[in-house]
Amino acid sequence: MLAIRAEPRTFNSLTVPDTTTEILASLTQAKLVRINRVTDELEPWLAESWTRSDDGLRYVVKLRPNASFSDGHPLTASDVVFSLAAAYAVRSVAITLEVDGKRLRAEATDPQTVTITFPATFAPGLRMLERLPVLPRHKLEATLSSGAIDKALNLATPPSELVGPGPFVLKEYLPGQRLVYGRNPHYWRRDAAGGQLPYLDRVIVEIVPDTNTQLLRLESGQTDMTTGEVPAESYASIKRAADANTLKLYDLGPGLNANALWFNLKPGSMGADPRAAWLQRDQLRQAISMAVDRKLFADTVYLGAGVPVFGPITPANKRWYWSGTPQTPHDPAAAKALLATIGLADRNGDGVLEDAGGKPAQFTLLTQKGRSPLERGVAVIRDELKKIGLVVDIAALDGGAMIQRIVASKYDAVYFNPTWSDTDPAASADFWLSSGSFHYWNAEQKTPATRWERQIDDLIVKQMHSIDEQERKRLFDSVQTIFAEHLPVVYFVAPHIFVAASTRVVNATPALWAGPQLLWSPDTVAVAR
Amino acid sequence: MLAYFARRLVFAVFLVFAVSSASLLLARLAPGDYASESLGLGARRETIDEARERLGLNRSIASQYRDWLVRAAHFDFGRSLQYDRPVSDLIPESAKNTAILALTALVVATLIGLPLGVITGKQQAGWAGGAGKAGRAGRAGGIIAGAIRSVSLVLLSLPPLLTSLFLVFAAAKTGLLPVGGMTSSVNGGTVGDLLSHMVVPVAALALPLVAMFERLQSQAMSETAGQPFVIATLARGVPLSRVIWRDALKNALRPVASVYGLVIGTLLSGSFAVETITAWPGLGQLMLTALRARDIYLVTGCAAAGSIFLAAGTLVSDAALAIVDPRTAER
C-alpha cells in the first residue's frame, strides 16, 4: 500500500508528464526498453534483444514472444509502430522523440520484429524509447484515427478498458480516495527461479494530499512506502521509527538534481531597465556563487544532508560527472571585488551596492510557493547576498504563475528545481542547446546569443552524434567546464535523497531517479507475510 | 413571514451568482494558467500557445465569462480542464462527503457546546451556590465552569489546521484511529469503518465550534438571567432547572441561531485545511486541487457549490431565528 499526493489527472502517460501519472503508469504500462534506475544501464524489456546497424541509424528489435496486454491480446510489432505514431500525435511528447528536429521511423518487419530508423546517429540510441509506453493498437486505433489520442484513457475510462502490458491492472478507482490494482493475469515476466511475476497480488494507492499525513500513515503502518522523498524536516521522526525497527530508511546519497538559480538572460527582455547592464553579466553570477556559503546552505536548507555542487551534473551521475569542473571558492571579499568590475560599489556607505547611476543593486528572486526547500533556499541566498551588498526581494508564486513569467521572460531571477529526465546529456539536449526550450535562462534562441553558448552547442551536437563513449565523455567534460566558467545557472547543494518503507517490504531496490524511487520496478517488490 | 423568506431566497440566489462569477473572474485574472502549470518548465512556447488555444484560455475574460454565464444558466458549469470531465459530474460526490463531515461536526458541536454554555452561563448568572450542601455543590460547579471556560478559550484560539495536525499525529502515535481517508482499503465501507475515519476530522472541525457555542450560549444565558420574565417565573416557584432548561434557554438561543447560518455555510463549503490534512475527499480538497492546477471551471464549480451551501445555511439560520424570535421576520 502506498500513497500519492495528487489525484491523477489521466491514465494516459503520453499527455501529462507529472509524478502521479508516472507512478500509476509504472504499475500498468511497460516500454520496449527500460533504464535500470540503479545501474543506469539500458535493459531489454518488452524488447527481448536488438541489433544496431554499423552506421548507428537502424535498430532491429525483437519482441518477447510471450508479451501480451492485460486483456490477453498478444503484443506485436504493430503495437510498437502504433505507439510511436500515437506519441507523435501529442505535440508535447513528439519533440522528446525527435533527433535534430526529425522523427524516428518504425516499421513492423514481422509480428515479432520492429525496425526503428533514426534520422541521424543518436548516441543514446534506444534509450530514447524509455519514454514511450507501448499502447494497445486494438483498443486505441480508432481514437488515434479520430485525432483524439490525447483524450483517451482519461479518468472516466472504465478500468476494464485500461489495457496495458504492465504487471498490474486497475480494478477500482474511488476519486479522492484510492486506486486499487490487481495482478495482470497475462503478465509476461518471470523471476530468475521461473516464478510468475508480479509478487504482489494487489497494490493500493491512497490519495493523501498532505506530506506529513503520508509519513504518519507510513509510521503507523497504514501505508508501506513513500512514493516521494522524505523531506529534510521529517527526517528525524522517520529516523526514530527506523531506529525502533518499525521502518526502513534509505539514504540514497546526493541526488541527481540540485535546485538552481538563474537570471533572465534573454537579450532585450529587460527593455530600458538600466539594471540590465549588470543583471545579465557573468560576473554577477560568479560573485553570487562565491558569496553563498554552500556549507551553510546545506546545513540550513537540508539540515546538513547535502553536498556542495558547482554545476548541473551532480556526483550522483557517476558516468557523466566531471570532477575537474571549476569550483568557485566561498569568498565574499572576492565576490565584492568582482561586482566592482561591473560597476557595482557601495557609493554612499550604507552597506548596499549601487550601480553607476546610484541606483541600489536590487533584484527580485522568484520561487515556487509552498515548497519548503525552495523557500528556505531563497532565504539563505537573500541573507548571504545581503552580506556583499546585494538586495534580494523574494516573490513566492504558484507554479503556473512562475512558469508563465519564465516563458514570457518577465522576471529578474528564479530559484527553482528543474529535474533531469535522463542522466545521459544527449537525452537532455534541450537544456544544453541554445535552441532548447529547457535552456530556461534564454530559451529557444534562433542563433546562439553568446560565444560560449555556441561552443556548448557545437560540443553537445558532436557528443550527441558520436558513438565513441570515451569521446562523448571528453566532449561533455568540456561542456561542463565552459558551463561552470560562465555559470548561466548557479547551483549550490545537491541534497541527499531519503526514502522510507515498512519493514515488511522486501526486494525494493531504491534508486535516485525522481519519480517512484522505491517502486520503479514494481513487479519484483514483495511484502513479508 | 412569507415575504421575509422570499427576500432571503432572492438574496441567496444573488449570493450564489456573485460568488461564482467572482471566483471565475479572479481565477482567470490571477497570473498563470492551466496550460503553463500542466506543461511545466521546459515546454515550448508554441506548445503552451497551442494548449491555450485548445482549452480556450486565450480568449478574452469577457468572452469567457459570457459563455460561462450562458451555460451556467442551463446548469452546465463547463468541463474541468485537468480531468476533462463535466464539473457537474465531479462536484456532487465531494459535496456529499463534505456534507457528511460538516453536519456531523455541527451536531456534535451543538450537542456539546450548548449544554456547556448553559452550565457556565448559569454559574456566571449566580444561579449556583448557597449555603451548606448547596454551597459545596455551587463551589464544585464553579470549578467545573471555570475549567470549561478555560478549555473553551484554548480551543477558540486553536485554528482547525492545528487541531487536525495534532489529532492526526495522536491517531498515528496511538494507533487507535485511522490516519486520514474516508474508508479503509481493506475490509472498509461499513458504517463502523466510516465512523472511525470521521473521528479525527469531525473533532478538528467541531472542537472550535463547541467553544464558540459555549461562549455565546454562556453570555446569552447570563444576560437572560436578569430578564424580568425569568425573575417572575422563579418568583412563581417554578423550579430553577426548569426555568434554565426551558424558558431561559429558549430565549438565550438567539445569538447562537444567528451565527448558525455562517457556521453551516463555512463548514459545508469545505474546510480546506482539515480535509487536506485528514485526506477527506470533500469539496475543500477538490477545490484545493483545482486551485493548484489553475482549473478555472472546477474552481468556479466548487465555489458555486460552496456558496449554495452558504446560502442554504443562511436560510436555515434565518428560519431558526424566526422560530426563536418571531419579531425578526416581522422587521
Question: Helical H runs in A29-145?
Answer: 77-88, 91-94, 137-145
> What does the alpha-carbon distance between residue A103 and residue A430 come to, in Å, rounded to a whole number?
16
Residues written for chain A: 529
CATH of the domain at A279: 3.10.105.10
Q: Which tens digit of pLDDT belongs to each residue from A275-290?
A: 999 999 999 999 999 9
Min Cα–Cα distance to chain B from A405, Å = 8
Helix (H) or strand (E) holding A114: strand A113-117
Q: Are residues A26 and A139 in the same domain?
A: yes
Min Cα–Cα distance to chain B from A237, Å = 11
In A, minimum Cα distance to B282 occurs at: A176
Q: Do B277 and A217 touch (CB under 8 A)?
A: no
Is A5 contained in some domain? no
Q: Residue A206 in contact with residue B181, Cβ under 8 Å? A: yes
User: CA nearest A523: which of A283, A247, A200?
Assistant: A200
Q: Do A156 and B85 touch (CB under 8 A)?
A: yes
Is A209 contained in some domain? yes
In B, minimum Cα distance to A399 occurs at: B37
Q: Are residues A374 and A448 in the same domain?
A: yes
Chain A neighbors of B33, CB-CB under 8 A: 400, 404
The residues, any chain, with a CB within 8 Å of residue B87's CB and separated by 6 or more, are: B77, B78, B79, B80, B297, B298, B300, B301
A336 touches chain B (CB under 8 A): no
Chain A neighbors of B186, CB-CB under 8 A: 204
Chain B neighbors of A175, CB-CB under 8 A: 90, 93, 281
Q: Do A403 and B84 touch (CB under 8 A)?
A: no
Q: Where are the beta strands (DSSP E) in A168-283?
A: 168-174, 178-183, 202-207, 247-254, 260-263
User: CA nearest A414: which of A433, A398, A394?
Assistant: A394
Q: Which tens digit of pLDDT belongs to each residue from B53-111?
A: 888 888 888 898 898 888 888 888 888 988 888 999 889 999 999 999 999 999 999 99
Please tell me whether residue A347 adopts helix, strand or coil conformation. Answer: coil
The residues, any chain, with a CB within 8 Å of residue B95's CB and separated by 6 or more, are: B282, B283, B305, B309
Phi first, then psi: give them for residue A103, nearest 5 degrees: -90, 160
Predicted local distance difference test score (pLDDT) of residue B330:
63
Q: Do A155 and B83 touch (CB under 8 A)?
A: yes
Q: Which tens digit of pLDDT belongs to each residue from A459-479?
A: 999 999 998 999 999 999 999
Chain A neighbors of B94, CB-CB under 8 A: 176
Q: Are residues A163 and A140 in the same domain?
A: no
User: CA nearest B260: which of B175, B322, B320?
Assistant: B320
> What does the alpha-carbon distance between residue B17 and residue B69 come to, in Å, rounded to a whole number?
9
How buried is B83 (Cβ within 10 angstroms: 0-12 exposed, 13-18 middle, 19+ buried)?
buried
In A, minimum Cα distance to B177 occurs at: A220
CATH of the domain at A117: 3.90.76.10
Q: Are residues A28 and A127 in the same domain?
A: yes
Q: Do A209 and B276 touch (CB under 8 A)?
A: yes
Q: Are residues A231 and A302 in the same domain?
A: no
Mean pLDDT is lowest, of A200-214, B8-22, B225-239, for: B225-239
In B, minimum Cα distance to A172 occurs at: B185
A444 touches chain B (CB under 8 A): yes
| Cell (9 digits) for B285 | 480538497
Average pLDDT over residues B18-31: 88
Interface of A with B in 191-210 (CB under 8 A): 204, 206-210
Q: Note down the domain range covering A134.
A: 10-151
Q: Are residues A94 and A183 in the same domain?
A: no
What one-letter code names the amino acid at B13? V
Terminal-to-terminal C-alpha distance of chain A: 14
Q: Are residues A399 and A454 in the same domain?
A: yes
Terminal-to-terminal C-alpha distance of chain B: 10
**Residue A400 — pLDDT band, cuts 50, 70, 90?**
confident
Predicted local distance difference test score (pLDDT) of residue A81:
97
In degrees, to the nearest 5, what angle opens at C-alpha B6 toward C-alphas B1 and B10? Answer: 150
Q: Are residues A180 and A285 in the same domain?
A: no
This complex has an ipTM of 0.77
Phi-psi region of B32 (alpha: psi -120 to 50; beta: other; left: phi over 0): left
Is A407 contained in some domain? yes
Q: Which of B55, B164, B179 to mutate to test the interface with A (most CBs of A within 10 A)?
A: B179
DSSP 8-state symbol, A36: -
Overall domain count for chain A: 3
Q: Do A404 and B33 touch (CB under 8 A)?
A: yes
Positive/negative CA dihedral, A339, A343, A349, A352: negative
> What does the alpha-carbon distance between residue A352 and residue A333 come to, in Å, rounded to a whole number?
14
Of A103, A130, A151, which residue sits at a domain end? A151
The residues, any chain, with a CB within 8 Å of residue A425's CB and separated by 6 or more, are: A313, A320, A432, A460, A463, A476, A479
Q: Residue A391 in contact with residue A352, Cβ under 8 Å? A: yes
Does the pLDDT value for residue B271 go beyond 70?
yes
Q: Are residues A193 and A58 in the same domain?
A: no
CB atoms within 10 A of CB A139: 19
**Residue A187 — pLDDT band, cuts 50, 70, 90?**
very high
> What does the alpha-carbon distance between residue A420 and residue A256 come to, in Å, rounded to a whole number?
8
Question: What is the residue whose three cell numbers read 471551471?
Answer: B297
For all residues of chain B together, what is the average pLDDT?
83
Is A186 contained in some domain? yes
DSSP string, A279-316: HT-HHHHHHHHHHS-HHHHHHHHHTT-EEE-SSSS-TT
> What does the alpha-carbon distance between residue A491 and residue A381 come to, in Å, rounded to a whole number?
11
Q: Are residues A411 and A344 in the same domain?
A: yes
DSSP 8-state symbol, A250: E
Q: Do B50 and A91 touch (CB under 8 A)?
A: yes
In B, minimum Cα distance to A12 occurs at: B83
Is A1 contained in some domain? no
Order of strands, edge to edge, in the sheet holding A2-4? A2-4, A202-207, A178-183, A168-174
Predicted local distance difference test score (pLDDT) of residue B82:
84
CATH of the domain at A217: 3.40.190.10
Please tell me whether residue B128 adopts helix, strand or coil conformation. Answer: coil
Q: Which residues pair with A98 in a beta bridge?
A: A103
> What does the alpha-carbon distance between residue A525 and residue A189 come to, in Å, rounded to a whole number?
13
Q: Which tens digit of pLDDT belongs to each residue from A324-360?
A: 999 999 999 999 999 999 999 999 999 999 999 999 9
Q: Do A209 and B288 touch (CB under 8 A)?
A: yes
Chain A neighbors of B277, CB-CB under 8 A: 210, 212-213
Q: Do B179 and A217 touch (CB under 8 A)?
A: yes
Q: Do B181 and A177 touch (CB under 8 A)?
A: yes
Name the residue among A17, A209, A404 with its Cβ closest to that of B36. A404
How buried is A338 (Cβ within 10 angstroms: 0-12 exposed, 13-18 middle, 19+ buried)?
buried
